[in-house]
Structure 1
Amino acid sequence: MNAPAAQPVTYPAAVDRLRSILTSSTLGEVGAVYAFHFTDGGEATLDGSSAAGLGYVDDDPAAHGLTPDFEVRLSREDFAKLVFGELHPMAGMATGRMKLTGSFKQAIKLDRLLKG
């Protein structure tokens, strides 16, 4: 019997996975705005400031009148690995693949959200 094909660890697949776990309930639990700055170009926002937040958008927070509570700088590839659990945040920081700006509390909330 063949095992089901694993979902590819790509940026588009990571965005799809993230959007699938962002419901009004999970957004309300986050209570923050996260900015992702991609070292290989581009910006993205996870607006979990309220249950009515925008969710995940491929855009700068300022484009939506939002101020980030927490910022993450990494490549799109590492973002995908982070979302799929292949890159642990502490390992990403220790190796310089990720830079975080903001409170530890917000980092923990993001980690919990990504773990589903």
Structure 2
Amino acid sequence: MKYPFDVNQSMLWLGDLCDLIFVFFDPIGQALCKRTLNIVEQLNETHSERIRFYLSKADEAGHESDRQRVMMQIVQELCKRPGLNKTGFDMPTIYIPNPNKGSRCVNQIERGLPRH
């Protein structure tokens, strides 16, 4: 897709302005594509303390074993990049609850957010 502006530079510019940077990994989509990880790595160089990682749509990732496999794949890809290879890595699972569909997945949507 073509945009009339540089998407990568725009994201880096926004990263300079915001207090927190949320990175959502989608278990279904192309969250681990090179372009996404390159941007996250660049943001991490100057704003590592602001970055929070989440596994979004966690209720759609299948059973717990499937979710664990997806999370391990994400962590493995992040660890291949020296700037993103951190100890104490945290990636809460989040999703928008559907009252018509039960889920055994823990929704940690408020975890990791600053309290005021």
TM-score by length of 2: 0.34
User: Which structure has greater strand proportion?
Assistant: 1
TM-score by length of 1: 0.34
Larger Cα-atom Rg: 2
